[in-house]
């Protein structure tokens, strides 16, 4: 087994520089985190109760033009108004929100009722 002896002159400066660099990248990563949605809120679910909120962004972030929060966890999403392609959309369909995490939310509005479908559950507007 061999051990090396290293000259550590100036290592304090290197460590300080690395710490400063890491702090800057942490702050910029926090700045790019999507803000919580401030839009229509939907509540409900089956065995798992959720509060889902979405907002369409006035200034899209590339392909991501909406944000969706589920129980406070926020993800970017893209809107799909022609989600059903050439097929007739279900009555009341407004928009599909396709999450960055691959979740799909379908938003509906009909006869004064607003709801969102996510997975096998419907969520009624609660705000």
Give me 76's structure tokens: 């970017």
Which ranges of the chain does DSSP label H, i.e. alpha helix? 11-31
Low-confidence residues of the chain: pLDDT under 50 = 2, 4, 6-8, 15, 18, 22, 24-34
pLDDT at 29: 43
Contact 122, 44 (CB under 8 A): yes
**CA–CA gap between residue 56 and residue 15 (Å, rounded):** 43
Cα 12 from Cα 88, distance rounded (Å): 67
pLDDT value at position 111? Answer: 96
Quote the pLDDT of residue 104.
97
| E-only strand ranges, 64-112 | 64-70, 73-80, 93-99, 104-110
Phi and psi torsions of 74, nearest 5°: -100, 135
Please report, for the chain, the start and end positions of each structural domain, with discontinuous segments joined by +: 40-125
């Amino acid at each position: 087994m061999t051990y090396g002896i290293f000259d550590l002159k100036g290592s304090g400066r290197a460590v300080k520089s690395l710490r400063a660099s890491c702090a800057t990248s942490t702050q910029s990563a926090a700045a790019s985190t999507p803000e919580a949605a401030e839009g229509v809120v939907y509540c409900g679910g089956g065995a798992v109760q959720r509060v889902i909120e979405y907002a369409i962004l006035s200034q899209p972030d590339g392909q991501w033009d909406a944000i969706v929060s589920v129980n406070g966890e926020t993800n970017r999403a893209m809107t799909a108004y022609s989600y059903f392609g050439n097929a007739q959309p279900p009555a009341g369909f407004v928009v599909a929100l396709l999450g960055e995490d691959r979740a799909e939310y379908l938003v509906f509005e009909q006869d004064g009722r607003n709801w969102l479908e996510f997975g096998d559950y419907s969520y009624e507007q609660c705000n």
